[in-house]
Structures are given as C-alpha cells and as structure tokens.
Amino acid sequence: MKLRLLPAVLFLAIFFFLPLARILVLSVDASVFTAAHLERAFFVFRFTFYQAFLSTLLTFLLGLPSAFLFARFDFPGKSILRAVTAVPFMLPTVVVAAGFNALLGPHGWLTFLFPQSSFQFTGTLTAILLAHVFYNTTIVIRIVGNALTHLDPRLAQAARVLGADRLRVWTHVTLPLLRAPMLAAALLVFLFDFTSFGVILLLGGPQFSTLEVEIYIQSLQLLNLPMAALLSLIQLLCTLVFSILYARVVERAFVPLMPKPSIARRPKNLREKIFVASFIALLASFFVAPLLSLPLRSVTRLEADRGQRGEIPYGITGDYYSELFVNRRNSVFYVPPLDAARNSLTYAAATVALSLLLGFPAASALIHPNRLTRLLDSFLLLPLGASAVTLGLGYIITFNKPLITDHWLLITSPFIIPLAHTIIALPFVIRTLQPALASIPERLRHAAATLGASPVRVWQTVDLPILARAVLSAATFAFTVSLGEFGAATLLSRPDFPTLPVAIARFLSQPGGMNYGQAMAMSTILMCVTLAGILWIERLRLPGAGEF
C-alpha cells in the first residue's frame, strides 16, 4: 500500500464513511419503522422521483435539439453560446435561485413590468423544473452532442444508399447509435435532479418536499433524526443505484465510434436556417435572462423598503451594495453580510489548503496504478455520488459528542464546514492533479537531464510549470465549490457563523425591499466570483487535457 494515499483514505474514512455508517445504524432503529414514517417516506420518495423524471424529460426536450444544433451547425458566436449554456452547471444553487427570483419572482422584473398578471412563479413546481432544466441542459448538450459530432457520417450515407429514407436513417441508425450516450446523459441528469436541494428549497418552498428537503426539515426543524436517517438511507441507496447504472452504461453500452473530424456546417436551406435561428434565440434568452436580471435587479430599486412610506424612488441605486457594509440591527442572530463573506472566504481557503494537502499525495500515488490503488481510486471518488445534505446529517449525528475535551464539540466548531467541503472537493482535486502529474513523462526528465540540467533545474523547468497550472486549477475548483456550497452549509453552519449562500437564503426569505436587494447584491458578488473562478480554470486547462 502506498503510504501517500493514507491521509486521504483516513480522512475519507472518518469524515465520509463513518457519518454514513452512523446514518445507517440510526435508520435501522426499530422505532423508525412506524406506519406514519413509512408513509411519509414513500410520499416524499414518490415526489422526488416524479419531479426528477419531469425535469429530465424537459431537459431532454431542450437539450436534444440543442445538442443537434451544436453538433451539426456552424454559426457566429457558437463557442460563446456553448459556454453560456455550460455556465449554470458550475454556479451555486443560491445564485441560480436568486437569478430566477429576480426574473420571475414576486419582487422580480416580470412582476414589475406586468403588475396585473396573476403569474405565480416561486412556490410552484414550474419554478423547480425550470431551474433544473437551466442547470442540466449542458449535460445533454455535452454528452449527446459529443456523440453526434463523432458519429461517422458515412454510416448515414451507407443507410441511404441501402434504401433508407431520411426518417429511417434516424430511427434505424442514428438513434440506436445515440442510445447509450442518451441513456448516460439521462441518468446523470436524473441523478442531479434527484439530489437537488437548494433550488427546491429556495424556489419551491417546503411544500415541495423531496428527500433532500425532507432530510433537512426532519433534522433541523422537527429534530426527528431517526426519520432523517431513514430518508438519507433511501437517498443513498437511490444514488448508489443510479451511479452504478450510469457507470455500466458508460462502460459497456457505448458503441465504439471512430472519432471523426467535425461535420458541422452552416445551415443551408430555409428550414435549417429557421431551426438554427430560433434555437439560438431560445437558448440565448433562456440562459442569459436569469443571469442578467440578477445583477440588474441588484442595482435597481423596484419596490418600497420595509417600513418605508410615501413615494418609492424607483431607479438605479447602489444602496443594496453599500448596505452590505452596515450593521443595521443589533439582534442576536443578525450577522452583517460582510461577516458572512469573510466566513465563506475563510472556509474556502481552509478547504483549498486541506484538499490540496490530502489530494496531492493521493494523486501522485495514483499515477502508476496497481490493483489496490485502482480500487482505492474509485473509493476516493465515491463522495461524488453522495448528497451534501446527507453528509451534513451524518456529521450532526456523528460529531455531536464531546471529542477532545469535555466541552469542545466538533459539530459546533467552525472547522466542521471546511471538513465537509473538503469531502466534496477532494474527488475533483484528485481528478485534476492526477492527469497533470501523469502527463510529465519520464522521458522529458531524461531529455532535460541529458541536455545538462541538474535535478533541481529539471524540477524547475519541467515539473513545476506543468504542476503549477494543475495545482492552481485544483485550488480554484475547491475554492469555488466551497464558496457556493449550500446543502451541507445549511445543516452545519451555526446561526452566528453563516456562509455567504446561507446568508443569501436568509435574506431572500425575509420581507422588505432592502433585504431582497441585499440578497440580490450578495448573489451578484457570488456569481461574479464564481464566474471569475470558472474562467480562471478554463485558462489554466492544459491543451488536450480531458474535461472531467
């Protein structure tokens, strides 16, 4: 066993598998299995499944034609539009929720522009579904679009010459060849919709209880930890099943396709032009509108502040931002937004440090895999499938006992959040570092050495430049993941130490124009920081390195 793997494996054992095991133990408690509990659990499970199914369906409705658009046609601004569709996937859920709120919510642009309309958005299933489509369309575009791009056009031509008309080329050749990628994309989208938390809590509200939301409500509001554990168990089993199914589809069912140069071309006839133009317009407006209405709303006053009387001064304002720096109320649990931001930055920095410290040795141990490390490799990736809320619940159950001294509780210490975030970020960090470490061929070092470089010089000139990019990229990734993470933070953050997303959610739920405005302002800042992080990672990506 390679010792360098040990820290990461130990860390995972204590902060991932132990909490899960505790959930397991708690959930098999006989007292959980009452008729009422089971009925509730089944009800929640059914709704979770239902909304995930609907969301997946709608995501495909938008995603399949979009995948076709990107794979088959060239048009100006194509790479920008593709990037725009991919952005939501990386954004924190609070930002997306705030964006849709700013566009369609009761204090948003739509209500302002059409005050008479009875359109209700927040608190509806529509809101949840829309946000899920917004999040996951890029998965369909990427997986199915990729397969479409690499589909040998000669297969379709062969079918044509053999007597198949255009329709039957689709039904007999193209669709069967796309079946595996479509299934893979569907499973992945479904998995994300199934475990979605922030979007449902913030846009749907507690009446739409999915497993995630119900775990949160049962553990924090009803303090029914055994019930929460039971729900977590169901959640874990479901994600496990979907992950296994996904892995099988990816591994086995993919028909080996010869990579081919792109067959994208400009639209030729009128029908194609109408399709391309209308989908560009649809995608652009669907993906840009929420992201744009958020920053716009954060600098525009549309309604009265709380307690404000008389004429409302509509218009551009910087108040929501300047207000972030002022501590208005001195209530016990009020935390100035600035403090929340400072908390988040501290947690994110700790997450970066911890995940690099654990991830770097692990990644370097995984370069030359043997059977054991290969097993450990997939073991290290397991947290990818677990939901953040379940993780949070596991921590609450596991670490609520005094640990080192009689008084010190890990669960109430500020350390708990970086620990959870490290569990979430670690798989990404290892996956980023490992290929970079592996990409430095021994021959390169030998070449440099025979050219007269000392070992130190070799390290400086060969290893460092390549590694520096990967480390920076991994660090940025861990940073943005921690900064935007909502599920675990909601369960674990102390009221007086909220993170930025938790504070945003709190502001969103409070009445008054000023609170709403501040939520918008903070979301905008979070969005900009995350976008900067995404761009930074994109720029750091080594040419030719895989996506994930």
Q: What six digits make up the tokens of 509?
A: 């739920």
Contact assessment for residue 309 and residue 513, using Cβ atoms and an 8 Å cutoff: no
Q: How far is the CB of 144 from other proteins (least distance, A)?
A: 16
Cβ 31 to other proteins, closest distance in Å? Answer: 52
Cβ contact 92:173 at 8 Å: no
Q: What is the 3-state secondary structure (H, E, C) of 315-365?
A: EECCHHHHHHHCCCCCCCCCCCHHHHHHHHHHHHHHHHHHHHHHHHHHHHH
Residue number with CB closer to other proteins (152 or 319): 152
Strand (E) or helix (H) holding 279: helix 270-298
Among residues 172 and 457, whose Cβ is nearest to other proteins? 172
Residues of span 262-291 touching other proteins by CB under 8 A: none
Handedness of CA 171, 176, 180, 183 (dihedral sign): positive
Minimum Å distance from CB 163 to other proteins?
3
User: For other proteins, how many residues bind (rule: CB under 8 A)?
Assistant: 22
CB-based contact 342:537 (threshold 8 Å): no
Residue 258: CB minimum distance to other proteins, A = 8
Closest distance of CB 179 from other proteins, Å: 8
CA angle 357–374–387, rounded 5-degree value: 65
In the complex, the smallest distance separating the C-beta of residue 164 from other proteins, rounded to whole angstroms, is 5
Q: How far is the CB of 161 from other proteins (least distance, A)?
A: 4
Q: Choose between 143 and 483: whose C-beta lies nearer to other proteins.
A: 143
User: 269 or 450, CB closer to other proteins?
Assistant: 269
Alpha-carbon span 447 to 445, nearest angstrom: 5
With respect to other proteins, which residue has the nearer C-beta, 177 or 423? 177
| Site for other proteins, residues 141 to 170, rule: CB under 8 A | 152, 154-155, 157-165, 168
Q: What is the DSSP string of 121-141?
A: -TTSHHHHHHHHHHHHHHHHH
- 172 binds other proteins per the rule CB under 8 A: yes
CB of 292 to other proteins, least distance (A): 39
**Element housing 301 (H / E):** strand 300-301
- Residue 153 or residue 318: which is nearer to other proteins going by CB? 153
Residue 74 or 538: the one with the smaller Cβ distance to other proteins is 74
Residues 230-259 that bind other proteins (CB under 8 A): 255-258
Q: How far is the CB of 253 from other proteins (least distance, A)?
A: 10
Question: Of 13, 114, 176, 403, which lies in the binding site for other proteins, with binding defined by CB under 8 A?
Answer: 176
- Span interacting with other proteins, options 173-181, 311-319, 385-393, 426-434, rule CB under 8 A: 173-181
State which of positions 30-59 bind other proteins (CB under 8 A): none
Which residue, among 79, 61, 448, 439, has the nearest Cα to 264 in the 3D structure? 79
- Cα 433 vs. chain centroid, distance in angstroms? 20
Other beta carbons within 10 angstroms of residue 40's beta carbon come to 17
Cβ-based nearer residue to other proteins, 268 or 371: 268
Give the other-Cβ count within 10 Å of 89's Cβ. Answer: 16
Report how far residue 189's alpha carbon sits from residue 464's, in angstroms, rounded to the nearest whole number: 37
Kindly tell me which of 150 and 494 has the beta carbon lying closer to other proteins. 150
Determine the residue type at 201: L
Backbone phi, psi, residue 300, to 5°: -125, 130
Nearer Cβ to other proteins, position 164 or 449?
164
Q: Closer to other proteins at the Cβ: 176 or 465?
A: 176
- Could you tell me where the DSSP H helices lie in 73-92? 78-90
Residue 377, phi then psi, degrees to nearest 5: -60, -50
Q: How many angstroms separate the CA atoms of 390 and 218, rounded? A: 12
Largest CA distance in the chain: 81
Burial pattern 504-533, b for ≥16 Cβ within 10 A else e, equals bbbbbeeebbbbbbbbbbbbbbbbebbbeb
The Cα-based distances of 458 to 445, 467, 540 in angstroms read 6, 13, 22
- Residue 117, amino acid: S
Smallest distance, Å, CB 181 to other proteins? 12
Tokens coding 541: 């990506």
Tokens of 158: 């062969």
400: DSSP letter = -
Q: Would you say 166 or 309 has its CB closer to other proteins? A: 166
- Count CB atoms within 10 A of the CB of residue 52: 23
- Report the residue number, 163 or 310, with the smaller CB distance to other proteins: 163
Per CB under 8 A, contacts with other proteins among 496-535 are none
> Rounded to the nearest whole angstrom, what is the least distance from the CB of residue 204 to other proteins in the complex?
40
Q: Are 367 and 467 in contact (CB under 8 A)?
A: no
Options 26, 62, 98, 177; binder of other proteins; rule CB under 8 A: 177
Which token pair is 176? 């069967």
Cβ-based nearer residue to other proteins, 258 or 456: 258
Query: In whole angstroms, how close is the CB of 252 to other proteins at the nearest point?
Result: 13
Closest distance of CB 481 from other proteins, Å: 38
Q: Which two tokens stand for residue 520?
A: 């918008």
Q: In angstroms, what is the minimal distance from the CB of 176 to other proteins?
A: 5
Interacting residues toward other proteins by CB under 8 A: 152, 154-155, 157-165, 168, 172-173, 176-177, 179, 255-258
